[in-house]
Amino acid sequence: MLPANVASNDEIVAVAQALAEVGTGTIQFGDAIRVEMKEGLLTRLTRATGRPVVCPLANMTAERLAGGGIYPMVGPFVDNPARWTLSTAGSFDALPAWQPVMSSPPEERKRALQDPVIREQLRADALRPDPRRPEEGGSAIRFDLIGVANAALARNRHLEGKTVVEMAQEQGKDPLDAFLDLVLDEDLATVFYPGSDVTVEAKAAILASPYIMPGASDSGAHVTRRCQSHYPTFMLSYWVRQQHIMTIEEAVRRLTFMPALIFGLHDRGLIRPGLAADLVVFDPDSVEPGEMDEVADFPGGARRKRRLSQGVEYTIVNGSVLIEEGEHTGAYPGRVVAGAR
């Protein structure tokens, strides 16, 4: 449990006031549901510190947040880019019956998932209201939104692209049984994707607000099951080129100048004499994210999800070409970027 998840509003404000003393820095929340539960915290923080607050949008409207130094950050994706198996998933840890099963070694986990008594406990937990979003109602595990991304066995490839509910209906099973039977059949290797019930129209209306900063990052905390680094190319290809919800100039401003301004990077975000020569040269007619793949280039051969770009000709850092037509040039012109202080 993170300390910030159990701290009182007063304690969070007291800690944040250190930023008021130094006159720089940004406050960022990664859990919008928690912010909603602590009514008034965002406004208190901006008034007490005078610093920008960045948070996911969640149930909060841009109009409610705008104008007080509060900046909603929204992932521009129309589907959830996460991919997980029952060897890597962490989204069930908040459910009491699931947590000990999911934290057990693989062989113990498989035995538990086959046990009829444990299955009934898992089923009861899955049907309860989501403890992280009690105000939304609905069940804790949305099998109508979880879909099969990649089946490990050829005989199950026909299930790819189907939700667990659709799969269960075809097999005449309860969704939990269909889900766990597939997982056990494929030795925990089935890759799933979490769906979303946010419509394209709703997401377009959100992103069209001038107060929204597009972005999505967990600082690489979940590289085994998600890659969101393609949000800029998705923004340019889908929302600008295909959906026409904003001009390319406005999209570039949101992706560059807006975060530089919010995070106090005053030598970046614009093309102007005296500023850092950080440039991306792309073709607006072909820029888009490539397909997600997986590489084992971490220490010890650890694996991570990756999504390269298409239609990006050059990436220039501090005036030196770093990437040319998708290939690294061998140059290392980057440095650690610090805020205004």
Q: What is the pLDDT of residues 111-140, one digit of tens each?
A: 999 999 999 999 999 988 765 555 555 678
State the amino acid at position 40 in one-letter form. Answer: G
Shared domain for 187 and 309, answered yes or no, is no
**d(C-alpha 234, C-alpha 77), whole Å:** 7
The candidate with the shortest Cα–Cα distance to 97, out of 60, 142, 52, 128, is 128
**Both 14 and 124 in a single domain?**
no
Q: What is the mean pLDDT of residues 184-194?
A: 93
Strand partners, 294: 305
Between 109 and 222, where is the model more confident?
109
User: Both 48 and 104 in a single domain?
Assistant: no
Which of 82-86, 188-192, 237-241, 318-322 has the lowest average pLDDT?
Answer: 82-86
C-beta atoms surrounding 206 within 10 Å: 18
Burial class of residue 105 (count of CB atoms within 10 Å of its CB; 0-12, 13-18, 19+) = exposed
Instruction: Give residue for tokens 């404000």.
Output: 13
Domain match, 54 and 175 both: no
pLDDT tier at 59 (50, 70, 90 boundaries)? very low
Same domain, 18 and 139: no
Given a cut of 50, is residue 178 above it in pLDDT? yes
Q: What is the dihedral of CA 272, 274, 276, 279, to 10 degrees?
A: 30
Q: Which of 194, 228, 247 is the last residue of a domain?
A: 194
Does the structure show a pLDDT above 70 at 61?
A: no
Residue 83 covered by a domain: no
In this structure, is residue 174 part of a structural domain? Answer: yes
Domain count, the chain: 3
Look at residues 194, 222, 247 and tell me which one is the last residue of a structural domain: 194
Q: What is the DSSP letter of 244?
A: -
Question: For residues 11 and 49, what is the distance between their CA atoms, to the nearest angstrom?
Answer: 14
318 three-state secondary structure: coil
List pLDDT tens digits, range 270-318: 999 999 999 999 999 999 999 888 899 888 888 888 889 999 999 999 9
Q: Report H helices in 60-115.
A: 62-65, 98-102, 106-114
Asked if 144 contacts 162 with a C-beta cutoff of 8 angstroms, the reply is no
Percent of the chain with pLDDT over 70: 88
DSSP 6-40: H--HHHHHHHHHHHHHHT---EE-S-HHHHHHSTT
User: Are 299 and 331 within one domain?
Assistant: yes
3-state secondary structure (DSSP) of residue 268: coil
Considering the domain architecture, whether residues 158 and 260 belong to the same structural domain is answered as no
Q: What is the mean pLDDT of the chain?
A: 86
247 and 331: one domain? yes
Q: What whole-number distance in Å separates Cα of residue 94 and Cα of residue 90?
A: 9
Give the pLDDT confidence of 71-82 residue by residue, as tens digits: 888 889 887 777
> Is the model's pLDDT at 324 over the cut of 70?
yes
Owning domain of residue 41: 1-74
Same-domain check for residues 337 and 238: yes
User: Do 226 and 341 reside in the same domain of the chain?
Assistant: yes
Contact 55, 22 (CB under 8 A): no
**Both 126 and 234 in a single domain?**
no
Token pair 């199950």 is at which residue? 156
- Whether residues 161 and 274 fall in one domain: no
